């Protein structure tokens, strides 16, 4: 299905982001932070945020990116079996949006759903990385670079809630500027 700015008012979107222990869910890397905003008619109506306790130590290179160390996650994190069923309810029937959602966030979410024997959601996806590559010419297509192109502040980047806010603003700019419909097919 293809979306234009007018359809933003007829669909519910969930902008999401994850912070993880590494890059490879198939290798056992896990989500340690999950954040999302639900948009109805372009307005944030509900948020979701959780820290998760990993089952193994967070590597130093991951901590260097997002700052989420083992001690903090042990103290503030929740069990995966508490978080992901609530998240499944939160995203039900929505269009999921993220920056590199198809190749990064969704494989992690799918791995957690599978490990918990949860039904994998079949939500439509909208990837702002793909939109940036289609509509913009930039030196790279990292979220910060795309945000800078649109003059969107990036304070707090590489933390899930901040990246969700940045991604939401990027999506809204694409929808405002898009002369062509945006494709969200899975």
Q: Per-residue pLDDT tens for 19-68?
A: 999 999 999 999 999 999 999 988 999 999 999 999 999 999 999 999 99
Core vs surface per residue 170-184: b (16+ CB within 10 A) or e: bbbbbbeeeeeebeb
Find how far residue 101's CA is from the centre of its chain: 6
- Indicate if the pLDDT at residue 3 is higher than 70: no
**Neighbouring residues of 106: CB distance < 8 A, sequence distance ≥ 6:** 96, 98, 125
- For residue 129, the surrounding DSSP H or E stretch is helix 128-135
In this model, does residue 5 exceed pLDDT 70?
no
**If you average pLDDT over residues 64-82, what whole number do you get?**
96
The pLDDT of residue 91 is above 80:
yes
- CATH of the domain spanning 2-183, picked from 3.10.440.10, 3.40.50.300, 1.20.1280.50, 3.30.420.10: 3.30.420.10
- For residue 100, pLDDT over 90 is answered with yes
Under the banding of pLDDT at 50, 70 and 90, the label for residue 1 is: very low
CA distance readout (Å), 15 to 27, 60, 61, 78, 139:
26, 28, 26, 21, 25
Q: How many CA atoms lie within 13 A of 147 on its CB side?
A: 18
What is the rounded end-to-end Cα distance, in angstroms, of the chain? 9
Vertex 121 angle, CA 115 and 127, to 5°: 110
Tell me, what's the pLDDT at 156? 86
Q: How confident is the model over 106-158, as pLDDT tens digits?
A: 999 999 999 999 998 899 999 999 999 998 999 999 999 999 999 999 998 88
């Amino acid at each position: 299905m293809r979306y234009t700015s007018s359809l933003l008012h007829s669909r519910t979107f969930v902008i999401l982001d994850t912070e993880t222990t590494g890059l490879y869910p198939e290798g056992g890397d896990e989500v340690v932070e999950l954040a999302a905003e639900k948009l109805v008619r372009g307005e944030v109506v509900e948020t979701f945020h959780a820290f998760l306790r990993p089952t193994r130590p967070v590597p130093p290179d991951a901590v260097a990116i997002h700052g989420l160390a083992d001690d903090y996650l042990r103290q503030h994190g929740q069990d995966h079996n508490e978080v992901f069923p609530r998240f499944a309810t939160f995203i039900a029937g929505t269009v999921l949006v993220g920056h590199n959602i198809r190749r990064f966030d969704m494989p992690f979410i799918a791995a957690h759903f599978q490990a918990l024997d949860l039904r994998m959601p079949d939500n439509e996806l909208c990837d702002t990385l793909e939109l940036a590559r289609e509509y913009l010419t930039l030196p790279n297509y990292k979220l910060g670079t795309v945000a800078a192109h649109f003059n969107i502040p990036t304070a707090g980047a590489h933390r899930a809630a901040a990246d969700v806010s940045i991604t939401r603003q990027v999506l809204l700019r694409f929808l405002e500027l898009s002369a062509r419909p945006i494709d969200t097919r899975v």
